[in-house]
């Protein structure tokens, strides 16, 4: 069967060369006579894989030396709790910006450990924009400020990173890590579930400024303490070995594409093709205001629910899968992460044009 164009919000497409390489190395990784899935995580051959993955990620994101890169499990959802447990400290209060479902989950978990102030929210317009943030809005006594750089469900993204002064900025980057360039030194901590731009589910990447670790609340379980993983180079227990190996392949592929800067240009081009069509369509329309539009997740709706349903069904049969929108927005959502080729977006637009001509 031919491969489909998969517009899933996550887990999502992986670059085809990565899958081919993994298939080629499935039974015998690099002359070891074993699959990476079978190997001891303490073996020299696996140690090189995890070290290479970290080095490639540091290179791709230009991670400064005073930051640690951790390969954890538990998803971004576990970070909603792990961040406050480790970073709230004696201050016991944090500032969080509410831009949708994932921010709300971060708020719910942080509330278990202290006081949460919602600095700003875009809930009044169903999270279709990013609130304007000024440095003066943040509480200088807060332990940190939390944002979600890209909102997977509502399709919004921060165009610029808020200036939080001396306050550490924590970012959930699950759905746009590696898709655009960021100055890591502006953040205290970044976390991301792997299943969109990094690799398969099961791996969570955390990038933490060294000085922020080491002050967890009392009784923090060993596994939920960042220091445990820092001190053991993400090998305190068995790491998600195979997912880390695929991350390494994804990062090698990304490097071949010219790194994050080139990927950002490709992503901007891909998103522009889709948004331009939507803005000129007589049938479909994008749900997010232009200046807040995500490069990764593009929600859109047709004129009626019947048309949405028919479109999703016909698109699926034509090999454009997982276009059904999240129930909170309705309609459709095309997730066009790094691995979605430009041809995939162009082919989708052609299909939409044809559908429109047949129905308008």
Ligand X SMILES: Cc1ncc(COP(=O)(O)O)c(C=O)c1O
Q: Which residues bind ligand X (CB under 6 A)?
A: 10, 75-77, 102, 148, 152, 172, 174-175, 193
Least Å distance, CB 302 to ligand X, is: 24
Compute the distance between CA of residue 122 and CA of residue 309 in angstroms, rounded to an integer: 28
Least Å distance, CB 297 to ligand X, is: 8
Closest alpha carbon to 235 in 41, 39, 68, 38:
41
The H helix count followed by the E strand count for the chain is 9, 14
Least Å distance, CB 121 to ligand X, is: 16
By C-beta, is 55 or 223 nearer to ligand X?
223
Compute the distance between CA of residue 337 and CA of residue 174 in angstroms, rounded to an integer: 11
By C-beta, is 75 or 155 nearer to ligand X?
75
Least Å distance, CB 48 to ligand X, is: 27
Burial class (CB in 10 A: 0-12, 13-18, 19+), 317: exposed
Is 52 designated active site? no
> For residue 150, what are the contacts with CB-CB under 8 A and spacing of at least 6?
156, 157, 158, 173, 174, 175, 176, 179, 294, 295, 296, 297
User: How many residues make up the chain in this entry?
Assistant: 360
Least Å distance, CB 213 to ligand X, is: 21
8 A C-beta contact, residue 70 and residue 205: yes
Give me the residues paired with residue 191 across strands.
172, 206
Choice among 172, 248, 270, 324 that is catalytic: 172
Compute the distance between CA of residue 196 and CA of residue 180 in angstroms, rounded to an integer: 14
Choice among 68, 104, 196, 324 that is catalytic: 196
Give me the residues paired with residue 145 across strands.
95, 169
By C-beta, is 161 or 318 nearer to ligand X?
161
Is 102 designated active site? yes
By C-beta, is 12 or 225 nearer to ligand X?
12
By C-beta, is 61 or 173 nearer to ligand X?
173
Residue showing tokens 């502006």:
186
Choice among 68, 95, 102, 248 that is catalytic: 102
By C-beta, is 95 or 172 nearer to ligand X?
172
Is 172 designated active site? yes
Tokens representing 82?
């792990």
Compute the distance between CA of residue 120 and CA of residue 248 in angstroms, rounded to an integer: 37
Compute the distance between CA of residue 76 and CA of residue 215 in angstroms, rounded to an integer: 21
Compute the distance between CA of residue 151 and CA of residue 99 in angstroms, rounded to an integer: 7
By C-beta, is 7 or 102 nearer to ligand X?
102
> For residue 81, what are the contacts with CB-CB under 8 A and spacing of at least 6?
109, 112, 113, 224
Q: What phi and psi, each to the nearest 5 degrees, are found at residue 262? A: -70, -40
Least Å distance, CB 10 to ligand X, is: 5
Least Å distance, CB 152 to ligand X, is: 3
Q: Which residues are catalytic?
A: 102, 172, 196
């Amino acid at each position: 069967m031919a491969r489909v164009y998969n517009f899933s919000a996550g887990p999502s497409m992986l670059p085809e060369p990565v899958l081919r390489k993994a298939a080629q190395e499935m039974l015998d990784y690099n002359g070891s006579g074993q699959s990476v899935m079978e190997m001891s995580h303490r073996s020299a051959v696996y140690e090189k894989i995890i070290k290479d993955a970290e080095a490639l990620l540091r290179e791709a994101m230009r991670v400064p030396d005073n930051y640690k890169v951790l390969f954890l499990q538990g998803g971004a959802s576990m970070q909603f709790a792990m961040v406050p447990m480790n970073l709230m400290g004696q201050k016991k209060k944090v500032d969080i910006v509410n831009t949708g479902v994932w921010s709300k989950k971060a708020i719910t978990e942080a509330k278990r450990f202290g006081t949460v102030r919602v600095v700003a929210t875009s809930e009044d317009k169903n999270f279709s924009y990013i609130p304007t943030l000024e440095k003066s809005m943040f509480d200088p006594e807060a332990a940190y400020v939390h944002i979600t750089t890209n909102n997977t469900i509502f399709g919004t993204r921060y165009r610029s990173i808020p200036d939080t002064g001396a306050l550490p900025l924590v970012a959930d980057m699950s759905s746009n890590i590696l898709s655009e360039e960021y100055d890591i030194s502006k953040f205290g901590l970044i976390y991301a579930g792997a299943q969109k731009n990094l690799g398969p589910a099961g791996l969570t990447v955390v990038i933490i400024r060294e000085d922020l670790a080491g002050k967890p609340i009392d009784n923090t379980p060993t596994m939920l303490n960042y220091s445990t993983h820092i001190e053991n180079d993400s090998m305190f227990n068995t790491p998600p070995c195979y997912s880390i190996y695929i991350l390494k392949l994804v990062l090698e592929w990304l490097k071949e594409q010219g790194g994050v800067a080139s990927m950002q240009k490709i992503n901007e081009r891909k998103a522009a093709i889709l948004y331009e069509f939507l803005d000129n369509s007589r049938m479909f329309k994008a749900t997010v205001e232009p200046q807040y539009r995500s490069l990764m997740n593009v929600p859109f709706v047709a004129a009626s629910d019947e048309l949405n349903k028919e479109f999703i069904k016909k698109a699926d049969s034509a090999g454009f899968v997982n276009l059904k929108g999240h129930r909170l927005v309705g309609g459709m959502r095309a997730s066009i992460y790094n691995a979605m080729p430009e041809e995939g977006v162009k082919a989708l637009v052609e299909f939409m044009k044809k559908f429109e001509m047949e129905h308008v």
